[in-house]
Each structure stands twice: as C-alpha cells, then as structure tokens.
Structure 1
C-alpha cells in the first residue's frame, strides 16, 4: 500500500449529495445510469454516469451519496460526467454506494 500525505488527501474534495434524477444511458459501453446529484447551494446540481444498475431508479432517487466533486469532467459516450459516486463491492459483488449514516445537508464536505 502506498502512503500519501494528509495534505494530498485534502486535495480530494468529497461531498454528500442527494440523487434527484436517474435516466437510462443506452449509449454507455457498460450498463449505466445518467444520474443528477444535488450538492447543495455552493455547488448546485452535477451529473454523472454510474454503473450502479443493481439499484433501480426508484431506489437511487432521494438517496444521499458520497461523491468526489473536483475531478476533471469526463466524456462518457458523449455525456459529460462531472462527479464520481463512491462505492464498495457488496457481499454479492455488486456495487454498494457510500452514504452518510446520520442526517446531513447536501454539499457537506467529507473530512
């Protein structure tokens, strides 16, 4: 495992967001959703593509998720992905999105 300085960790801007919209993304190479995330008044809404198809749109909408918000935007099949949703492999091997365990406002920074 490579170690990094704490200052390097602080360069990664991770925030809590609320998923507000989920759309199919048929042009993506791998099964994916187009997702809109509300990151609070400072950052507003951002869009992303996520391979979280083990979740239904109904399960995702309203979910509070942790996101990296300061990566360069990425073009995925003609779609501008602006944030990265964070997740881990679940026991079944499917993605398990990371969330906050207690109420917190959208846009709250991870520290």
Structure 2
C-alpha cells in the first residue's frame, strides 16, 4: 500500500454558497476572513496562546456541524453545512463559511458567539 499524496488546495477570493431550497445564490467574500485568520495566527504571548486554544475548540465544534464532505476532481471541497450546500477551495475558508451559514442561535449554542 502506498501513501496518498497530499494536494494543496488553492485559495479563491470569493466562494459560492448555494442554498438547498430555491434558486437563491449568495456570494461570500472570504478574503477578509482569510486575512483575519492569518493575523490571528501571527499573534504572540499569552493572548495568542489563549486565542489558539479557542480557535481549535471552535474548529472541533464546527466539525460536528458538517455533513457529506467530498473532494472533487477539481480540488474543490463540496459539503453540506446546516442543510446548505457549500463548495470551498481551501480549508481556511471553512471556519468563516460555517459562521456565515449557521443561524445566530446555533452559533450561540456552540459557543461561537
């Protein structure tokens, strides 16, 4: 058995989110989210450590909200988040996308807000 090669997933400036019901299509600009994530990862000191722990806890909680993950041939990740079909091109966009599509009440229940 050989090891599978890891593929890097390209980052795009915007991401399409298509709702499961109706023809509405929402464009989410992920560039600000990616920039913010990059800034958070550069934080140092006690606050940086605490923020890193909080971010890891948030990612674990978000993982429980994700269903039907598939990596397509075009290196696009297709998944269903809280009943909404989502296609993303980088895992960095995933946190922002989940926050965009989850209702505020559910974010509060998960401790994300």
Given the two structures, how large is their TM-score scaled by the length of structure 2? Answer: 0.25
Structure having the larger proportion of residues in strand: 1
**Bigger RCO (CA 8 Å, 6+ sep):** 1
Structure having the larger proportion of residues in helix: 2
Given the two structures, how large is their TM-score scaled by the length of structure 1? Answer: 0.26
